[in-house]
A and B are shown apart, each in its own frame.
Chain A
């Protein structure tokens, strides 16, 4: 085989379609990448990029994204407790809270009403 034939052969090998990497290998490499990333940026990992989440459906993915955004399960538990406490204070209105409310916003407080558009202004009438 002379040099020209060899160059042709090498050119053929260089320009031949490169076989795709096996899907299982790609998955393993990607899983390792995301695991390394997770170890460094636990809160920043996108749910959409996680194959397991994608398979579970978008609703589960959105839920996980929202959970991640507020800081995880413990933060959600704290928020829920605060919300329930607020609801109870609003409905039951315990005496100490009522007194506090009264001091800030007295029930019999007088309000100064200012009539910005008096009813008897003639030029506002049609015609």
Chain B
């Protein structure tokens, strides 16, 4: 099957095609999921893209391996991948805990080309500040905020990813946002939000 034919298929259909030996489905799933897992793991790991690459690669390898045994309808492929990546991030964070704190310089520059250099720099500063503030949140709060407000998952999906109830997700997200606001307090002018707004 050509790549063009697979571009509109849902993830689960692609996974079934892959399990049945269709290489185009593997490529479509790779192009669809790897950037999302990379971005998620990068946020979870405080901006470490090298480790995020490892996480994305390992999560995808596990997806390829589970493909023949995938049980249709039990979970979304992306949710499953986020869960695996999240667990791998947790393992990495445990392993490196207390090694050194994450600083603003560790945060990646997430923006691509923008016409206005000044605007781009301001946005870059904001994204770096957000990444650094996220890295200071407790891990579960960070995970909930990233999945809900940056990756755009719904609360029930996050509940599956984090293996908790929806109410717990709401609680973690709310506490995480409060924590972020506190961490970024006093930086409004610096981040371009203005004093009087």
A122 at the interface (CB under 8 A from B): no
A interface SS class:
helix
B13 at the interface (CB under 8 A from A): no
Among B27-72, those with CB < 8 Å from A are 27, 29-31, 34-36, 38-39, 53, 56-57, 60-61, 64-65, 67-68
Question: Is the CB–CB distance between B181 and A21 below 8 Å?
Answer: no
B21 at the interface (CB under 8 A from A): yes
Question: Is the CB–CB distance between A33 and B126 below 8 Å?
Answer: no
B184 at the interface (CB under 8 A from A): yes
Question: Is the CB–CB distance between A32 and B57 below 8 Å?
Answer: yes
Question: Is the CB–CB distance between B112 and A17 below 8 Å?
Answer: yes
C-alpha spacing A11/B152, complex, angstroms? 10
Q: Which residue of B has the minimal Cβ distance to A46? A: B23
A104 at the interface (CB under 8 A from B): no
Residues 88-111 of B, flagged 1 when their CB comes within 8 A of A and 0 if not, give 000000000000000000001011
* Nearest CB of B to A8, in Å: 8
Q: Which residues of A contact B67 (CB under 8 A)?
A: 36
State whether A36 and B181 are in contact (beta carbons under 8 Å apart), knowing that A17-B112, A25-B56 are contacts in the complex: no
Chain A contact-residue range equals 35 or more
Given contacts A12-B123, A40-B19, A45-B21, 10 further A-B contacts (CB under 8 A): A1-B180, A8-B193, A14-B149, A18-B35, A18-B39, A19-B112, A21-B34, A26-B34, A32-B61, A40-B68
Nearest first, the 7 A-B pairs at minimum CB distance are: A49-B23, A41-B21, A33-B26, A44-B21, A10-B149, A1-B184, A36-B64
Chain B residues in the interface with A (C-beta under 8 A): 18-24, 26-27, 29-31, 34-36, 38-39, 53, 56-57, 60-61, 64-65, 67-68, 108, 110-112, 123, 126-127, 130, 145, 149-152, 177, 180-181, 184-188, 191, 193, 197
Q: Pick 27 A–B contacts, CB within 8 A, sort by A.
A: A1-B180, A1-B184, A1-B185, A1-B191, A5-B188, A5-B193, A5-B197, A8-B193, A10-B130, A10-B149, A10-B150, A14-B151, A14-B152, A19-B110, A21-B56, A29-B57, A30-B27, A30-B30, A32-B57, A33-B30, A36-B65, A37-B18, A37-B23, A41-B20, A44-B21, A49-B27, A50-B23
